[in-house]
Amino acid sequence: MPTATLISQESDITAGALNVNDAYDLKFRKRSTGDYEVIVFMKLQFFFIGSGAYIWTAFEKTQYMKNWEKEIKKAWGNRILKILSSTKKVYLDFEFKSQQGGWMMDHWEITVEKIKPGGFSTSYVVPSRGNVKLDSEDLTSVSKAAGYMQRGAVHEFGHMLGLLDEYKKSIHVGDTGSVMHSSELIRARHNSTIVKWMNNVLTVNKIR
């Protein structure tokens, strides 16, 4: 990762359609290469709970947090948001500050339940409370619709960005491959809140 210079930041983001208050911070930085980056920054507090015979070990908890960050960054990050007229690019990336339990001024509290390997438990996000419920199977791909695989954690992260489900009532109900539907493809519409902020930063700072 090249070093980058901070140009602008915003610490109170109401994210998209869900009206999530303070869902993340945004930073706009110039990389030493001359390209730019928008960073979505989240402070996360993880809690781990067991169920029945399924109890987390300390190692498993640490691994889950590490894998969650790695897989979310891979699925959602390192994408080009815009190519400027100077031909320089604006990338989108994610940074997390995570801790287990304790006390933290967090953006989200993520409770992860350990369940039977291969089992299923419903995962969800409660935007108004800044709460997320995941389970130990949410980093494993499962078939959601014919030919479409999805990891629960990757989909739920979309809700943490303020995005709504698209598989029920939505004009995108036919886009089965979408991350907010039954797979993991990220469409331009999923960046719209961030792009709006980025465009304003570009204008204010006369970056073209």
CA angle 15, 17, 22 (to 5 degrees): 20
Beta carbon of residue 179, minimum distance to Zn ion (angstroms, whole number): 10
Q: Helix, strand or coil for residue 188?
A: helix
CA distances from 49 to 69, 126, 134 (A): 19, 18, 10
Q: Helix, strand or coil for residue 34?
A: coil
Beta carbon of residue 159, minimum distance to Zn ion (angstroms, whole number): 6
Query: In the complex, which residues of this chain contact Zn ion (CB under 5 A)?
Result: 165
Beta carbon of residue 165, minimum distance to Zn ion (angstroms, whole number): 4
Dist. CA 51–CA 53, nearest whole Å: 6
Smaller CB distance to Zn ion: residue 71 or 165? 165
Smaller CB distance to Zn ion: residue 18 or 65? 18
Smaller CB distance to Zn ion: residue 107 or 159? 159
Smaller CB distance to Zn ion: residue 95 or 165? 165
Beta carbon of residue 127, minimum distance to Zn ion (angstroms, whole number): 11
Q: HSE on the CB side for 61, CA within 13 Å?
A: 19
Beta carbon of residue 155, minimum distance to Zn ion (angstroms, whole number): 6
Separation of first and last alpha carbons in the chain: 23
Dist. CA 54–CA 185, nearest whole Å: 32
Beta carbon of residue 152, minimum distance to Zn ion (angstroms, whole number): 9
Smaller CB distance to Zn ion: residue 8 or 170? 170
Dist. CA 95–CA 97, nearest whole Å: 7
Whose CA is closest to 196, among 164, 162, 173, 153? 162
Smaller CB distance to Zn ion: residue 106 or 165? 165
Q: Which residue is closest to Zn ion by CB?
A: 165
